Amino acid sequence: MKKVKPLILVTNDDGISAPGIRALIAVMAEIGEVIVVAPDTPQSAMGHAITINNTLFLNKISKDNDEITEYSCSGTPVDCVKFAVSEILKRKPDLCVSGVNHGSNSSINVIYSGTMSAAVEAGIEGIPAIGFSLLDYDWNADFETIKPFIRKITLEVLENSLPQGVVLNVNFPKLKFDDIKGIKICRQAKAMWAEKFDKRKTPQGRDYYWLTGEFVNQDKGEDTDEWALENGYVSVVPVQFDLTAYHATQQLNSWKWNE
């Protein structure tokens, strides 16, 4: 009996033409049957945004491989996953992979990331999901180096499955293959962006603002994603989308809410 290939949904936030997603598609095509639904324009830092006040468009396109079905979507990364599940796929995919993002999605960046929000949306739909990011913002970043790690992580997830309600946030250091020390399971570092708005003027004299900031890592632990990346490891953080702060319930229940 012929073995059925896993059905893999591929998406991202940098847009369907980004080199990162093209590299991811190439790896997934070696593993399973691939369907691509990705934004038609860059949607970085969109978080878990969905489109509710504008029309949405979906176009079937032809790209690198005639055996792979690809769609570009006018919406956000989360819209892409919703479209795939509701309108395109005839069955629930065995896996959703998002990325490879051009730039870091470690620590607090996971909150803002369209890449990770697409993976989280898949997780909400009950689909095992992984978000991949490379710590290189260059459009022409070298994704060949990380392909073996993408393949390994993907196969491990397909073989072992993920805990319910959990998706993986995977970040790669900007290193050559032989310089990467391995894969490390981590926690999210306690870090933040110290932000400010740079005030400028248009040629017509109107004030406008440009968001700037500095990344501040407040966490000195050696079990974090930031430590792993700084020390040459691929970081893998299990992320849950249940945002309940369970550790706070006992304290809150001690307050006099109903008196």
* Spans of all domains in the chain: 7-189+222-253
Q: What is the pLDDT of residue 215?
A: 77
Amino acid at 20: G
What is the reported pLDDT for 143?
97
pLDDT value, residue 196: 83
Q: What tens digit of pLDDT does each residue of 59-87 get?
A: 998 766 678 999 999 999 999 999 999 99
CB distance 229 to 106 below 8 Å = yes
Residue stretches of the chain with pLDDT short of 70: 1-2, 63-65
pTM equals: 0.92
DSSP string spanning 84-105? Answer: IIIII-SS--SEEEEEEEES--
Could you write out the three-class secondary structure of 163-180?
CCCEEEEEEECCCCHHHC
Q: How far apart are CA 215 and CA 108, in angstroms?
A: 10
Buried b (16+ CB within 10 A) or exposed e, 196-206: eeeeeeeeeee
How high is the pLDDT of residue 1?
Answer: 55
Per the structure block, which two tokens stand in for 37?
């639904």
CATH number attached to the domain at 7-189+222-253: 3.40.1210.10
Nearest to 73 by CA among 62, 64, 85, 60: 60
Give the residue carrying structure tokens 């290189």: 136
For residue 167, which of 130, 133, 134 has the smallest C-alpha distance? 130
CA distance 64 to 70: 10
- The CA distance from 102 to 135, in Å, is 7
pLDDT tens for each residue of 95-116: 999 999 999 999 999 999 999 9
Q: Is 47 left (phi over 0), alpha (psi -120 to 50) or beta?
A: left
